Amino acid sequence: MFIKTRVLNPYEKYILEVNGRIKMDTLDQTHCFTIDKGYTGEKYFYEKIKECSGGIKIWDFRLKMNGEAQYDFIIIHDQHIIHFDIKYYEGNYHFHQSNFISENNYVITDPINQLVKADMKLNQFVQKLGLSYKVLSYVVFVGQQFSVSGFNGDNRILFDKDIDRIVASLNKNETSDEETRIGQLFLQYHYDKGIYQRIHYYPFEEIQEGIKCPSCNQLLPKLSHRKTHVTCSCGYKITKKDLVKNAFEVIQLLKNAAVTVDDVVRYTGIGKTLIREVLSENFEKTGMNKNRKYHPKEKLFIKEVSENEYEVDMVINDS
């Protein structure tokens, strides 16, 4: 059971949405490539293990303890705390002096060294929680188009073919109440205040219009008035009403401002009557007639958590 999944931060959401719609600057292109590959690999692993009956699972755990540490997946299972660091690469690599080097000389620098550092900090955290569970850490290279030569093996490094073994292991036992309690304890120390890149908003009027398919990430076809659904070439299907709601979220993100009916028309091809109906039902409205705009509904006020409440060098009460 997953008790937490990854939530993209505002910069990640924006940069992935704007990708392919406009020419980005070099810094954004670099960040976008890294974010896209990382999220693709993590989502692939998530889809593989999400139905497993055993283990309490956390996707994206951030720990603030003598600095910050980030863990792609934490699984609490069978008296173990298991950390999986997911890496998504494609192509042919060879192993040389602890590094994985591609045919184009791209270097994956000593992933074991990075894993050891994260493992040490996780062990310290588990000890502070007073748990007797054993910590295990692995790097998992996902993606069937990744191959390595010259690698003699290391039990801390796994590949796509090993995921079936992970799934089988997680399906051996059901989740226990103790594992659930420990998972919830972990979440109390998840640090979600990390620093992310400042967003450079590109001119909204210059961004390519349309809604991306959640399945294949290609732009969906514009909808004719007679159809009730829009269907992507990959087979993904969505209703008009859901498409309008998706369009609002996308446009508001790209525009960084209120959304108009005309905005949604341009991005979807849906008629104005249905768009007004859906926007009025789901979002806040300001202005009248041609000046009418839509905003996200106000959220309930949530108390901010102070920085030192995340620190783990305090006395932790495990009762």
Q: For residue 312, what pLDDT is reported?
A: 57
What is the bridge-based pairing of β-strands 284-286 and 237-239?
A: unpaired
pLDDT band for position 298 (cuts 50, 70, 90): confident
Q: For residue 193, what pLDDT is reported?
A: 76
Q: For residue 311, what pLDDT is reported?
A: 59
Q: For residue 194, what pLDDT is reported?
A: 67
pLDDT band for position 66 (cuts 50, 70, 90): confident
pLDDT band for position 316 (cuts 50, 70, 90): very low
> Looking at the predicted structure, is the pLDDT value of residue 300 above 50?
no
Mean pLDDT value of segment 55-65: 95
> Looking at the predicted structure, is the pLDDT value of residue 314 above 80?
no
Where do the CATH 1.10.10 domains begin and end in the chain? 209-295
Neighbouring-strand partners of residue 84:
73, 138
Q: For residue 86, what pLDDT is reported?
A: 97
Q: CB under 8 Å to 153, separation ≥6 — which residues? A: none
Of 137 and 98, which is predicted with more confidence? 137
Distance, in Å, from the CA atom of 194 to the CA atom of 9, rounded to the nearest integer, reads: 9
What pTM, to 2 d.p., does this model score? Answer: 0.86
Task: Quickly list DSSP for 280-298.
Answer: HHHSEEES-GGG-EEEPPP
The answer to whether 287 touches 252, Cβ cutoff 8 Å, is no
Of 193 and 138, which is predicted with more confidence? 138
> Looking at the predicted structure, is the pLDDT value of residue 4 above 70?
yes
> Looking at the predicted structure, is the pLDDT value of residue 307 above 90?
no
> Looking at the predicted structure, is the pLDDT value of residue 301 above 80?
no
Mean pLDDT value of segment 118-128: 96
Q: For residue 224, what pLDDT is reported?
A: 66
> Looking at the predicted structure, is the pLDDT value of residue 70 above 60?
yes
Kindly report, residue by residue over 149-171, the tens digit of the pLDDT: 999 889 999 999 999 999 999 99
Of 236 and 195, which is predicted with more confidence? 236
> Looking at the predicted structure, is the pLDDT value of residue 252 above 80?
yes
Q: What percent of the chain has pLDDT over 90?
A: 76
* Structure tokens belonging to residue 44: 């692939």
Distance, in Å, from the CA atom of 18 to the CA atom of 255, rounded to the nearest integer, reads: 10
Q: For residue 309, what pLDDT is reported?
A: 52
Q: For residue 60, what pLDDT is reported?
A: 97
Task: Quickly list DSSP for 14-30.
Answer: HHHHHTTTSPPPHHHHH
Kindly report, residue by residue over 163-194, the tens digit of the pLDDT: 999 999 999 989 999 999 999 999 999 998 76
Please give the mean pLDDT across all residues of the chain.
90
Q: Say if residue 292 is exposed, middle or buried (CB neighbours under 10 Å; 0-12, 13-18, 19+).
A: middle
Class of 209-295 per CATH?
mainly alpha
CA angle 282, 285, 286 (to 5 degrees): 170
